[in-house]
Amino acid sequence: MSAKVKKEHQILTESSAKGHFKRNIMLWLLVFSSALMLSMPFLVPHTGLVMLFAFIPLFAAEHIATESKKRHFWLFYYTCFLVWNLCTTYWIYNATLPGMVAAVVLNALQMAVIFRLFRWVKSLTSGFLPYLFFIVAWLAWEHAYFNWDVSWPWLVLGNSFATSIKSIQWYEYTGTLGGSLWVLLSNALLFRIMVGNTKGEKMPLSSISAACVVMLPLIVSHIIYHSYETPYFEPSSGSGSRQFTVLQPNIDPYTDKFSGMTQGQQNGVLLGLSEKALAASGASHQREIADSAYVDKVQPCHIILAPETFISRRPLINEDVPYQNHSFVTFREYIDRCNSNGGNFNMIIGAVTDDYYYGYDRKDDDGKPLPPSESARYIANGNLWYDRSNTALFLDSQGGYEFYHKSKLVVLVESVPYKKLFNLMSHFSIDLGGAMGSYATQKEREVFVTEDSVKIGTAICYESVYGDYFREYILKGAQVMGIITNDGWWGDTPGYRQHLSYASLRAIETRRCIARSANTGISAFINQRGETMASTKWWEPAFLNATLPLNDKLTIFVRHGDIIGRVAQFLFVLLFLMSIARAFAGKRAIS
C-alpha cells in the first residue's frame, strides 16, 4: 500500500472516529435531556406539562441511532430510564439501600423492555404504527403493574400531574392513565411532526392533531375546574358536611416509635394533641379551609384521624378481645368521655392487630401444621395460628368498633409474593412507611359508618397510590375519604411530598374530600378539586380542624374503573401478534 493511500485511509479512520465520538456525545445529551425532563414533574411542583415533551429527546436519539445503525443502543435508553428512576425515587435509601437499588434497577429494566419492543416493531414497519405500539404497550404495562404481586407504580406517567391539578380535572372520567395517554400521544405526535419537517414533508393534519391533543385536555380541564360546584346532599338527607380533625403526633419512627418511647408515652402525646385540637375547633384561631364554598358554620369535631400503625407496641390488639389491650381501652374511654355530654365524636386510628385461629388444628400427611391462610403465623409452643394486619381501627360514638385491614401491601415488607423466589431475596426489602412483616389482607374495601350515617373510607399509606383500588371505597358508599400514613421513614426527601400530592389525584378521580393524617407530616385537607386547602409543616407536632362537604355522587371513573388500561391491554396483544406475523412473513419472503 502506497504512502498516499495509507494517509487517506488514516484520514478516513480519524474522521470516522471523530464522527462516531460526536454522535455518541449527541446521543448522551439527548438521553440525559429526556431523563431530566421525565424527572422534573416529580421533583418540582407545577411542572407537569413538561412531560408532554419529555420523550422527544429520547425518540430523537433513537432515530439517530437507527439511521446510523448504532450498536448497543440499549445502553443509552436503559440509562435514560435508570437516571429517571434514580432522580425521583432515590429517597428509598433512607429505609434500605439494597431495596432502593432493586426498585430503581428493576423498574428501569421494565421500561427498557417496552422501549426495546418499540424498536423491534419499528424495524418491521414504518410511519406512526411503531409509536402507536409504544403507547399501548406502555399503557398496558402501567395497567398491569397496578395489579401485579410485585407492584411499584410510583412513576406512572399520569402521576406527573399531581401538582398540576388544574390541567387534569378530567381524571374524574379517565383516571390516572388518562394522563399517561396524554403524555405518550403528545410526545409521539410532536416528534413525528419534527421528523417530517426535517424531511421537508408537509403535515397539516398531523400538526392540527398534535395541537388538539396537547391543548384540548388543558382547555377542558380549566372549564371543569372553574365550573365545578361542590355536590351537597339534598335537604332530606341531612347536613351536607361534617367536622374533621387530623392529628400529627410527630413520633420519630427510627428512634422513638418502636423503641425509644413506650406505647403509653406515645398515647399521651396523641391524647394531648387531640385535646388541643378539640379545644381549638370552636376558637377564633381554628385553621379552616379558606374557601367559603367548602365551609359551613363551625361545628364540634366529629371524626378524628390518627396516623397509620400508631398502636404498634406489644402486646398488640387481639381483634377477638380488644378490651384486653391497654391502648384500645385508653382511646375507647377517651372517645366515650368526649361523648359524655351528648357529643358525636368518632376516631380512626392506625394499629397493628392480631386475629387468632382458635381451635384450628389441621395437619398434613406428615403431621406438620397446615396454615389456615397464606399470611398466617404459627406459635409452636402454643399450637396456635394467627394473622397480623396493618389496621385502621374505628371507634364510634356508640361504644362500638370496627377493623379494616390494609390490603395493598408493600412488597417484601408487608407481603412476600412468589414466596419461593423472594424468600431468597428478603434482604432487598423496601420500607415505605408501614409495619414490618407478612400481613393479612381482606378481599373487599370497607367503609366506616357513624351514628348519623356518614360513610368514610380509610386508605392506609401505600393504598392511596392505587386509583382503581381507591375507587372501591367509593363504590362501597364512602362520601368522604381518610388517608392515614407514616411517612417519616423517608426523611426530608421528595418521597413524602410525592405521596401527599398523589392524594390530590385520588380526590379528583373520585370527587371526594380527603382528610390526611401523617405521623411526621404532611397532614392535610384536600377538596374535591384536588386542592390542598390546609396542611401542616413537616416534622412537627400539629393538628388541623376543618369542615368537609360530603358527596354521594359517582364519577365515570368510579363507576367503570380504568377503561383506558383495559383497552390498551387488548390493543397491545393485537399489535404484538400482528408484529410477530409480519416478522414471520418477512422471513418467508427472504427465504
484/553 same-domain check: yes
Q: Give the whole-angstrom CA distance, residue 192 versus residue 203.
A: 9
Number of domains in the chain: 2
* Side-chain-facing half-sphere of 378: CA atoms under 13 Å: 14
Q: Calculate mean pLDDT across residues 237-255.
A: 86
The arithmetic mean of pLDDT across residues 1-13, rounded, is 59
Q: CA–CA distance from 577 to each of 16, 407, 573, 581, 591 (Å)? A: 40, 35, 6, 6, 21
Asked whether 358 and 320 are in contact (CB, 8 A), the reply is: yes
What integer pLDDT is reported at residue 112 of this predicted model? 98
Domain shared by 504 and 420, yes or no:
yes
**Is residue 317 over pLDDT 60?**
yes
The three three-digit cell numbers of residue 324, written as one number:
384486653
Give the tens place of pLDDT for each residue, 362-396: 888 787 888 888 889 988 787 899 999 999 999 99
CATH number at residue 429: 3.60.110.10
Between 459 and 70, residue with greater pLDDT: 459
542-551: pLDDT as tens digits: 999 999 999 9
Q: How far apart are CA 432 and CA 522, in angstroms?
A: 15
205 pLDDT above the threshold of 50? yes
Report how far residue 342's alpha carbon sits from residue 91's, in angstroms, rounded to the nearest whole number: 47
Q: Whole-angstrom Cα distance, residue 462 to residue 531?
A: 20
- pLDDT, residue 286, reads 37
User: Does residue 234 sit within a domain?
Assistant: no
Q: What is the pLDDT of residue 219?
A: 98
198 and 344 share one domain: no
Q: What is the DSSP letter of 294?
A: G
Q: Find the angle CA(431)-CA(434)-CA(436) to the nearest 5 degrees.
A: 70
Question: How many CB atoms within 10 Å of residue 477?
Answer: 14
Query: Residue 235 falls within a domain, yes or no?
Result: no
Verify that 167 and 287 share a domain, yes or no.
Answer: no
The pLDDT of residue 414 is 79
pLDDT of residue 4: 61
Q: Same domain for 434 and 572?
A: no
Strands (E), 363-430: 377-379, 384-395, 401-405
Mean pLDDT over 239-266 rounds to: 92
pLDDT value at position 3?
Answer: 65
Do 254 and 200 share a structural domain? no
Report the alpha-carbon distance of residue 459 to residue 465 in Å, rounded: 10
Are the C-beta atoms of 580 and 161 separated by less than 8 Å? Answer: no
Out of 198-202, 291-295, 408-412, the most confident range is 408-412
Q: How confident is the model at residue 12 (pLDDT cuts 50, 70, 90)?
A: low
pLDDT in tens, 443-482: 999 999 998 889 999 999 999 999 999 999 999 999 999 9
* pLDDT the model gives residue 294: 39
pLDDT of residue 15: 56
The CA distance from 541 to 248, in Å, is 5
| Span 429-439, average pLDDT | 55
499 confidence band (pLDDT: 50, 70, 90):
very high
**236 is a domain residue:** no
Examine the domain organization and report whether 213 and 257 are in the same domain. no
For the stretch 112-161, pLDDT in tens is: 999 999 999 999 998 899 999 999 999 999 999 999 888 899 999 999 99
Say yes or no: 423 and 489 in one domain.
yes
Q: Is the pLDDT of residue 242 over 60?
A: yes
Kindly report which listed range (52-56, 434-438, 536-540) carries the lowest average pLDDT score: 434-438
Q: Do 251 and 129 share a domain, yes or no?
A: no
Strands 384-395 and 317-318: unpaired
- Domain shared by 65 and 188, yes or no: yes
Average pLDDT over residues 298-304: 62
> What phi and psi values does residue 156 have, to the nearest 5 degrees?
-55, 135
pLDDT digits (tens, 9 = 90+) for 80-92: 999 999 999 999 9
Residues 410 and 431 in one domain: yes
In sequence order, the 6+-apart residues with CB closer than 8 A to the CB of 575 are 121, 129, 132, 133, 136, 137
Residue 208 confidence (pLDDT): 87
Q: Higher pLDDT residue, 444 or 359? A: 444
459 lies in the same domain as 567: no
Give the range of the structural domain holding residue 477, as residue numbers without chain letter.
241-560
- In this structure, how many other beta carbons lie within 10 angstroms of the beta carbon of residue 343? 15
What's the pTM?
A: 0.90
Average pLDDT score over residue span 57-78: 95
In angstroms, what CA-CA distances link 398 with 160, 184, 271, 466?
A: 43, 52, 20, 33
The three cell numbers of residue 220 are: 377542558
